[in-house]
Chains A and B, each alone.
Chain A
C-alpha cells in the first residue's frame, strides 16, 4: 500500500515583524497560492489539507475552520496539528504520512503564525506545568540559555563562538528575499547586543515574525507528472521526551541525536557528514547551532566550534548550514519548520536562487519544540 512521497510545490510569504497589511487568513492564502503556482496546480487538485500554528499566539483556536478560505479546504478533509516549535515540521510529516499511506495522493501542508498579534512569551508559558514549573518559566528563551550554559561550561565554548553562528546566518539571510532580518552583522555587534538571559543576547536569538509557508506533497506517480525535479522524502523521524523541563538533559539534545540516528538508518546513510549536502536546522539560538550539530552526528562532542571557524558550515563550505539565513532571521513559529523543509526541497531542485549551494543531492531539515523534542526529515534528488 505504501508509496514514495515528494515535495512538488513550496510557497512562503515575505516574513516581517508585523504583517498588518493582511489578516491571518490572507497570510495563509499568500503562501498557499504561491505553493499552488509553484506546482502548477489548482485548489481542485488537493486531496487533503494539514494546517498548524501555535493556538495561543493569536488566540484563534480552530485554524482548521477559520483558515479554510486561506487554504482552499472547502469540502475537503482538513486536520489541524499543533506541537509547539515543531508544528511546521509536524504538518510536513503528517502530510507525508497521508500520502505515504496511499490514502491520499496530493496533500497541502500549511504552517503559519502572526506573532505580532499577541505576546509570544506569554503564549509559550501556557505550555508548561502550571503547578510545578510555570512560576519560574520566563518563556522559551531562558530554556535555551539553560542548554547553552551546560555545553559552554563542558567544552570551554565562548560567547564569541555563538556570535560567529549568528554572523554566518545573517550573511546568508542577506541573500534571501523572504527573510525577516537581512542587514549583515559582525561578531562584535552580537557580543555588544543587550544580554537577555545569560549567555543569550539579542542577536543570538530568533526574532518573532509574521509569516506562512505551504508545501505540496505528492505520491510517486503524481509527483513525476507534476514536477520535473521532485524533492523526494527519504525518511522522517519524530522523537519526544519529557513532561517537565527540569528532566531535560541540558547541554546535549538527545532527541535530535535519536531522531537523526533513526532517519539515517531508514535511508541507509552511514556517514552523514559526507552523504548530506545541506542542512536547514531549526536553530532557535546561536548556541544551538553548535551543540546540536554534534547531536546530528556531523562532528564529535565539543568539535562544532572548530567546524564553524574553519568555514565548513558557511554557504561556500563543505557542510552548508542554514543557507536561507535560518530561524535566527525569520521565525513565524508555526511556519518555521515548514520553511526548513521547503528550503531543503528548493536546494535539491536547484531553485534556491541566490541562496543556492552547489551540488545538492541530499538535504536534512529539522524541527525543534517544547520540552526539547525533535523532528527530522531527510530529502534527496531521486526516489529511495
Chain B
C-alpha cells in the first residue's frame, strides 16, 4: 500500500447551480425607481434627527434607527468621490466591456454616495473631485432599475 497515493488520476466533478431569485426593492426603493422610470427624477430621503440625506433612499436611518418619512428631490449632478477603470473581469456579468470606468458619486445635497458607471470621458482624464451629471436612458427604454441612469458624464452647464 506504500504507493497507494502515487500515480492517481485526479477526478474532478463539475457543477453549476442556477438559482432563480427575486429581490424586492421595498416600497421606499420602488418609489425611487418608479419616479426615475416615469419622470426621470432622482429622489433622496432625509433623516430629520441626523440631518442626513440618503441616496439610495433609506426607509430607516442606519445611524439612529428612526424611520424616515421625508423625500427630497436631488439634482442629477454631483461630485465624483473616487473611481477605478476596470481592464479585466471575470465572470463577464458586467454591464459594459472592459475597459470601463465606474465610481462613487455624491449628488449635490446628498450625504451618501451612489455607485455608478462613468461615460463620455477617457480613462486617463478621470480624477476624484470631478463634477459629473447623470445621463438617463430614453423614457421608452427605462425599466425602473438603476441602469435607467446610463452613466455619469463630466458636467456641462
Contact = CB atoms under 8 A, between A and B. Distances in A.
Most buried by A among B17, B56, B147: B56
B88 A196 contact: yes
Contacts, number: 96
B71 interface: no
Contact of A146 (B84, B116, B146): B84
A245 interface: yes
A127 interface: no
Contacts of B25: 131
Contacts of A149: 82-84, 128
Contact of A136 (B81, B87, B115): B115
Interface string B64-91: 0000000000000000011111111111
Contact of A150 (B21, B29, B81, B94): B81
Contact of A132 (B81, B89, B146): B146
Contacts of B103: 146
Contacts of B17: 59
B49 interface: no
Interface residues of A, number: 37
Contacts of B91: 119, 121-122
A35 to B, nearest CB: 23
B59 to A, nearest CB: 12
A150 B128 contact: yes
Contacts of A131: 23, 25, 29, 145-146
A258 B91 CA distance: 35
Contact of B87 (A137, A153, A195): A195
Contact of A250 (B12, B82, B117, B147): B82
A254 to B, nearest CB: 14
B84 A197 contact: yes
Contacts of B123: 198
Interface of B: 10, 12, 15, 17, 21, 23, 25, 29, 56, 62, 81-91, 93-95, 102-104, 112-117, 123, 127-128, 145-147
- 7 nearest interchain CB pairs? A246-B113, A145-B84, A130-B23, A246-B115, A198-B85, A146-B82, A142-B84
